[in-house]
Structure formats: structure tokens, C-alpha cells
Copies of this chain bind each other. A is one copy, B any other.
Amino acid sequence: MSILIFGHKNPDTDTICSALAYAELKNKLGKDVKPVRLGELNEETKFVLDYFKVGKPELVTNVAGEKIILVDHNERTQTADGFEEAKVLELIDHHRISNFNVDEPLYARVEPVGCTATIILKLFKENNLIPSKEVAGLMLSAIISDTLLFKSPTCTLQDTNAGLELAKIAGVNPNEYGLEMLKAGTALGDKTEAELLTMDMKIFEIDGQKIGVAQVNTVNEAELLENKKALLTEINNIISKENLKFFMFVITNILSNDSVAIVEGNGDAVIEKAFGQKVEDNEVVLKGVVSRKKQIVPPLTKAIQD
């Protein structure tokens, strides 16, 4: 039985591409592994797989009884159903470690870099291997996606160097390709409000309270804000369903590198404390904020715990 490799629920480009890339590395090392996904692809990831002509991983929803390798996530709320009944062999990630409990020793490689694919390139090299042209393209895409084309504060020198090296192997111009890819990701098409809110939603548990933070990239935030009333209705549905304390829908402009968030639930005091910004009319301006991991979750955690 193949070992399953997968990233988080509501998959993004890093999660999908890192699963595919780590599977290529493991296969080259003679391991029987299979990359899988826990949900539907977003527009950006579809563009990436089309561009490099790579098929999408199979959908899996429950991993009970499987041997598994986690990439790009570790928190219980973001992983597959049946996690407790699976055997976790490895974890390759670049997030904080939280609510991740396993019964037996495992191989964990977690580094505070901007993208999981950056760590995976390192693992290729440690094994004296290089990714194929297509997989290098996927890994480059993951880095561009997670670092907003090397501009996010999460982006380290390691990520930039890895990106440039992968661009050479993939044979693409990173800036031209990157902008095209990010713009493809802002095409929201005919998504319903529910789809918009959950396509990149993550749930975090802090001091026993669950909060939801979704993020979407755009070149035109006004278009999304126009629809605030319908979005708020749907956010309230999610809050009830997932039993959340509050929810932030972060709209990030990939050209200006600023965000604005639509917020709902019992979180205004925490949000104002975390960001030093007033919540007005269910909106909060987050100037210079593009990274959920580095600029949103840590201040929220601190504000809740204080």
C-alpha cells in the first residue's frame, strides 16, 4: 500500500505542488508513495498544473489505516479525517507546530522559511538529486505563491535563491511567469460566496477557542467589498457550522501588497488589540499585511492569550 503524501485542507499551490514534488523525490529514492489532495484546486493551482502539464493528485478525504506524510501543515484542524488512525511517518512544513500529536517518533523537517517547496529542494540536494523540469516548475510556483513573488515578509533569502534556481531548471522567467500565475489566481470566476470564503480557509485553535481565517488574492478589492453583505451572511453560516469565535476574510492586493479584512463574530476587541486598527462596519484595514502565517496568526494568538 502506497504511503500517502498530502498538504492541508482547502489546498493552495504550495500544498499541492509540495505533495507532488516530495512524491517525486521519494519515488526517485525507491519509496512507494502517492501524492493526494484533501480538497478542490483553486484557480491559481489549476493554472500551474495546466502550465506544466502535470495531472492533479487524487482526492482523499479519510486516511484512517494509512501510512501518511504531511507536507505544508501540521495542525489537527487542517489535516485529513482519520488522522488519529493513521501512522504518521514524516512531516515537512514551514508553519508553527501546534495541536500536532503523534504516538511514535517520526521524521520532521520544519523550517521557518517562506515555502515548503524551499525545504523540499534542500532535501533533493541532500540526496544528491534534482527535480525534473516539470516538478521544478511546480516548486517555483509554490514559492511564488507563498511569497507573493518574493515580496512577502515570510520570504527568506533561501526562498529567493531556491526560486531562481528552480526557474532555471523549469526554463521560465520567474517574474513574468509569476505575475501571470498570481493574476490567474485572482480570477474568481463564478464562485459563490461560500466557495470564496472556504477555498483557502484555515481554522486555528487558540486557548481552546476556534477562529477562522480565510484569504484571497486580488487586483481589485473593491469588487469583493461590494459584495460584503452577502459575504457576511455566509460567514455567519460558517461561524455556526464550525463553532468559531470569529472569522476574518482577508483580501490581499497582490500589486500593492496591502490587505483589508471582512470580520464577523465575537472578535472585534481581539482584532483591534492585535492590529492596532479599528474594526468599522465589519472591515479592518491591514496596511502592508500579506502573510496570514507571519502577520495575522501570531498577533491574534498573542491578543487572545494576553
Which of A's residues lie within 8 Å of B, judged by CB? 84, 91, 94-112, 126, 293-294, 297-298, 301-302, 305
Contacts and interface: CB of A to CB of B under 8 A. Distances in A.
A98 B98 contact: no
Contacts of A107: 110-112
B109 A104 contact: no
A95 B108 CA distance: 10
A12 B37 CA distance: 42
A305 B101 CA distance: 13
A108 B105 contact: no
Contacts of A301: 103
Given A91-B97, A97-B102, 13 more contacts: A84-B305, A96-B102, A96-B103, A97-B97, A98-B102, A99-B101, A103-B301, A103-B302, A105-B294, A106-B110, A108-B108, A108-B111, A109-B110
Tally of this chain's copies: 2
26 contacts: A84-B305, A91-B97, A95-B105, A96-B102, A96-B103, A96-B104, A96-B106, A97-B100, A97-B101, A97-B102, A97-B106, A97-B108, A98-B101, A99-B101, A100-B100, A103-B297, A103-B298, A103-B301, A104-B112, A104-B298, A105-B110, A105-B293, A107-B112, A108-B110, A108-B111, A109-B109
A97 to B, nearest CB: 6
Contacts of A112: 104-107
A87 to B, nearest CB: 11
Given A97-B101, A101-B97, A109 B106 contact: no
A210 to B, nearest CB: 15
